[in-house]
Chain A
Amino acid sequence: MMFRFNSHPFSRIMVVAIATTSLIISSCAPAEVNENTEQTENTEQVDGSAVTTEGSQSLIYVSNYPLQYFSERIGGDQVKVELPVPGDIDPAFWEPSADELAQLQTAELIVLNGATYEKWLQTASLPQAKTLDTANLFQDRWLSIKEVVTHQHGPEGEHSHEGTAFTTWVDPTLAIEQAAVIRDRMTTQFPDQADLFATNYKALEQDLTTIDEQLATLVVDSADQKQPLLASHPVYDYLAARYGLNLRSVLWEPETFPDEDQWAELESMLAEHPAEWMIWEGDPLPESVERLRQLGIESVVFDPAGNVPEEGDFLTVMQSNVENLSPVFAE
Chain B
Amino acid sequence: MNGMKASFFLAWKYLSFNKLRTTILIACVTLVGALPLSLNLLLSASERELMARAETTPLVVGAKGSDLDLAINSLYFTTVPPEPITMAEVTQIQTSGLAIAIPLHTQFQARNFPIIGTTLDYLDLRQLTVAAGRNFSILGETVLGADVAATLNLKPGDTLVSSPESVFDFGGVYPLKMNVVGVLEKSYTADDNAVFVDIKTAWVIQGLGHGHQDLAQPEDSDVVLEQNDNVVTANANLTQYNQIDADNLASFHFHGSTDTFPLTAVIAVPQDDKSAAILRGRYEVSEASSQIIQPASVIEELLLEIFKVRNILNLVFVLVSVATVVALILVFNLSLRLRQREMETNFKLGCCRSMIIRLVTAEIATILVVSLGCSLVITAGTGVFKDRITRTMLS
Give the CA-CA distance A121 to B324 in the complex, in Å: 68
Interface stretch of the complex, out of A123-131, A170-178, A260-268, A304-312: A123-131
Give the CA-CA distance A234 to B74 in the complex, in Å: 45
Contact yes or no, B125 A97, CB < 8 A? no
Name the contact of A46 in the complex, choosing from B100, B134, B137, B141 (C-beta under 8 A).
B100
* Mask of B312-356 contacts with A, CB within 8 angstroms, 1/0: 000000000000010001001100100000000000000000100
Q: Give how many A residues have a beta carbon under 8 Å from the other chain's beta carbons.
A: 43
- With a 10 A CB-CB cut-off, give which of A6, A127, A136 has the most chain B CB atoms: A127
Which residue of chain B lies nearest to A104 when distances are taken between CB atoms in the complex? B137
Contact yes or no, B357 A122, CB < 8 A? no
* Cβ of B58 under 8 Å from chain A: yes
Which of chain A's residues have a CB closer than 8 A to the CB of B40?
A: 25
Contact yes or no, B137 A124, CB < 8 A? yes
Q: Give how many B residues have a beta carbon under 8 Å from the other chain's beta carbons.
A: 58
Give the CA-CA distance A98 to B138 in the complex, in Å: 6
Known: A36-B55, A122-B200. 19 other contacts (CB 8 A): A3-B361, A5-B332, A5-B333, A5-B360, A9-B365, A35-B48, A36-B48, A42-B56, A43-B55, A46-B125, A98-B137, A99-B137, A101-B137, A124-B139, A125-B119, A125-B141, A128-B94, A128-B101, A128-B120
Contact yes or no, B120 A97, CB < 8 A? no
Contact yes or no, B121 A122, CB < 8 A? no
B residues engaging A (CB < 8 A)?
33, 37, 40-41, 44, 48, 52, 55-56, 58, 94-95, 100-102, 119-121, 124-125, 127, 134-139, 141, 181, 198, 200, 216, 246, 249-250, 252-254, 269, 271, 325, 329, 332-333, 336, 354, 357, 360-361, 364-365, 368, 372, 375-376, 379-380, 383
* Mask of A14-40 contacts with B, CB within 8 angstroms, 1/0: 001100110011001000100110011
* A-B interface contact total, Cβ < 8 Å: 125
* Cβ of A95 under 8 Å from chain B: yes
* Cβ of A102 under 8 Å from chain B: yes
Which of chain A's residues have a CB closer than 8 A to the CB of B368?
A: 9, 13
Given A3-B361, A97-B246, the answer on whether A46 and B44 have CB atoms closer than 8 Å is no
User: What's the least CB distance linking A32 to chain B, in Å?
Assistant: 6
User: What's the least CB distance linking A155 to chain B, in Å?
Assistant: 14
22 contacts between A and B (CB under 8 A): A3-B361, A5-B336, A5-B357, A9-B368, A36-B48, A36-B52, A39-B52, A39-B56, A46-B124, A48-B121, A95-B250, A102-B137, A105-B120, A105-B135, A105-B137, A122-B253, A125-B120, A125-B135, A127-B124, A128-B121, A129-B121, A150-B216
Contact yes or no, A32 B135, CB < 8 A? no
Taking CB atoms and an 8 Å cut-off, the chain A residues in 107-163 that contact chain B are 122-129, 136, 150
Contact yes or no, A123 B100, CB < 8 A? no
Contact yes or no, B52 A101, CB < 8 A? no
Which of chain A's residues have a CB closer than 8 A to the CB of B102?
A: 128
Name the contact of B252 in the complex, choosing from A9, A17, A123 (C-beta under 8 A).
A123
